[in-house]
């Protein structure tokens, strides 16, 4: 089901990061602060896709196009058929130097934000615990246009779960996957399911205080399988 490129796949990703430096609240991007008094850890989409692409290149030997590796390439003149041979371009799309879309995105990610604000520990050297939530989706129309196959989706799910076990680990920083919920459904004309309705099925109430570990949170979500209120939707859950 989750490997079918003709289906829509909306997903919620939950992961934790411990002991990140307050100068870099996540291991992927520079620190961001929403207000002066409320500080959240953020992981940006481009940073997440970059680390995911490098992981798939290094661990699974997939062809990945790195723009910096070929500074002389005229990107706006490259033909799409030559680009989609690269896994990250086929899945994440490509825009030229003028901002024109050459290859549409098959897979998109939202920015990941910590459920609750993150504050430095008393020592001031490391940040306390952070539980992050990210949303994403796979578009079967763009996927079909890009030639995405079932093996591509299988690699995406493997990559998402595996980078949280390896690429995030830089002592004393540690991370872990805490849940991946994939909602799969057909692309039925006239009956598009709003992504927000599916994302809201995974409930993680904020503590409104500094979390210390994952067990502080209560997570509610439907049982895996076909959803009773939405029989056209099938839920797959990875813990």
Digit-by-digit pLDDT tens for the chain (239 residues) are: 899 999 999 999 999 988 765 455 444 444 444 444 557 788 888 888 988 998 899 888 999 987 644 444 555 556 677 788 899 999 999 887 777 788 899 999 999 998 988 776 655 555 678 899 999 999 999 999 999 999 999 999 999 988 877 655 565 677 889 999 999 998 765 567 788 999 999 999 999 888 888 999 999 999 999 998 888 899 999 98
Question: Taking the C-alpha atoms of 22, 24, 28 and 30 in order, what is their torsion angle to the nearest 10 degrees?
Answer: 140
- The reported pLDDT for the residue numbered 127 is 65
Determine the pLDDT at residue 212: 86
Q: What angle do CA 107, 110, 111 make, to 5 degrees?
A: 140
Give the residue among 179, 200, 178, 198 at the shortest CA–CA distance from 137: 198
Does residue 100 sit within a domain? yes
Domains identified in the chain, total number? 1
Treating both helix axes as pointing N-terminal to C-terminal, what angle do 45-60 and 150-163 enclose, rounded to 10 degrees? 100
Residue 219 falls inside a structural domain:
yes
2 found inside a domain: no
Residue 206 within a domain: yes
Is 3 contained in some domain? no
**Residue 118, pLDDT score:** 78
pLDDT attached to residue 30? 41
Confidence (pLDDT) at 51: 87
pLDDT of residue 70: 45
Residue 88 in domain: yes
Range of the domain at 114: 8-238
Q: What is the pLDDT of residue 95?
A: 81
* Any domain includes 38: yes
Looking at the domain assignment, is residue 187 inside a domain? yes
């Amino acid at each position: 089901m989750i490997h079918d490129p003709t289906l829509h796949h909306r997903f919620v990703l939950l992961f934790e990061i411990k002991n990140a430096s307050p100068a870099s609240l996540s291991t992927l991007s520079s620190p961001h602060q929403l207000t002066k008094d409320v500080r959240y850890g953020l992981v940006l989409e481009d940073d997440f896709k970059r680390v995911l692409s490098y992981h798939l290149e290094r661990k699974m030997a997939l062809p990945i196009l790195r723009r910096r590796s070929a500074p002389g390439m005229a990107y706006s003149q490259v033909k799409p058929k030559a680009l989609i041979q690269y896994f990250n371009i086929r899945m994440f799309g490509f825009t030229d130097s003028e901002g024109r879309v050459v290859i549409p995105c098959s897979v998109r990610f939202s920015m990941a934000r910590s459920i609750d604000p993150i504050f430095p520990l008393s020592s001031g050297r490391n940040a306390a615990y952070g539980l992050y939530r990210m949303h994403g989706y796979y578009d079967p129309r763009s996927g079909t246009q890009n030639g995405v196959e079932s093996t591509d989706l299988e690699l995406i799910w493997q990559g998402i779960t595996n980078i949280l076990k390896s690429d995030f680990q830089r002592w004393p920083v540690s991370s872990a996957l805490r849940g991946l919920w994939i909602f799969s459904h057909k692309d039925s004309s006239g009956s598009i399911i709003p992504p927000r309705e599916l994302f809201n099925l995974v409930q993680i109430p904020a503590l409104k205080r500094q979390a210390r570990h994952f067990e502080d949170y209560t997570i509610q979500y439907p049982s895996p399988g076909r959803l009773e209120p939405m029989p056209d939707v099938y839920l797959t859950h990875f813990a």
